[in-house]
Amino acid sequence: MPRPSSPRWAVLIHALPARPLYLRARIRRRLAEVGAAPLKKAVYVLPDSDVGRERLRAIAAEIEAAGGSAFVCISVFPDAPTERRVARLYDAERRRLARRGDAPTTRRGHASLVGLRWVTRRGLHVDRLACAWIVRRFIDAAATFRFTAAPGAGGAALGSREIGFDMTGAAVTHEDGRCSAETLLRVAEIDDAAVHRIAEIVHDIDLGDERYGHAETSVFRQLLDGVIASESDDAGRLERGLALFDALHASLAGRVVRPARARRLRPRP
């Protein structure tokens, strides 16, 4: 029997689908971001806490949204030697991540955005679709959305568990020359090279200033225009847009290195 003082652990147990191919790497990265240690294949642990459980549940929701299975439980181990082995595994994983420069952070922006309803203007276009994709794929796989006809509803008109994006007065919108997708990456502290490149593509399409000039921009603009022209309903446009951004991310993942910030934000001549 576990001793009364036995430490508690939050445990994620999961099974991933065979496709999409990039999902396995993304889930490994997400687990590394929160500092979870592999106890064995497909079993990861964190010291139990409200924040730790929230982070693992968010990853579990992302796995299930992609067609896999996952659940989070709280566990204690039956004896002191087992407890010490688990603690050593966890400490070794943290040291490994620190050596790689991937030590987990508090992810304050990310955690505070889980469980909210996201509100934006009707008539979804590139920036709003990109923000919705970032939310669903990298922040909260179970996130819901509300589309409003009031362009200035980003502030006081929102409910207590709602957050506005890409509209006047919203918490996430254009700022300092960034599009809303770029702002969201900063607020949520997401550091994924392929996602940042996608935000740059969105910036050029949305703002039209050709700041980045990526090779994928023209073709992606045409594909996105096709989705928007053929789907007038925002809910349908959202689902088709998510699939389009998924495909772009799969194409870019693994072959894009994020450049230094000063270079990335410098306007093109």
Q: Please write the tens of the pLDDT for every residue from 201-223.
A: 999 999 999 999 999 999 999 99
Check whether residue 84 and residue 149 sit in a common domain. Answer: no
- Interacting residues of 7 by C-beta distance below 8 A, sequence separation 6+: 47, 48, 76, 83, 87
Residue 60's domain comprises 9-104
Check whether residue 248 and residue 153 sit in a common domain. Answer: yes
Hey, what are 38's tokens? 């592999």
Choose the final residue of a domain: 80, 104, 128. 104
Q: What is the pLDDT of residues 17-47, one digit of tens each?
A: 988 777 888 888 888 877 888 888 899 998 8
Low-confidence ranges of the chain (pLDDT < 70): 1-6, 94-95, 97-111, 151-157, 257-269
Backbone torsions φ then ψ of 252, nearest 5 degrees: -90, -30
Check whether residue 119 and residue 67 sit in a common domain. Answer: no
pTM above 0.85, yes or no: no
Choose the final residue of a domain: 60, 87, 104. 104
Choose the final residue of a domain: 104, 135, 151. 104
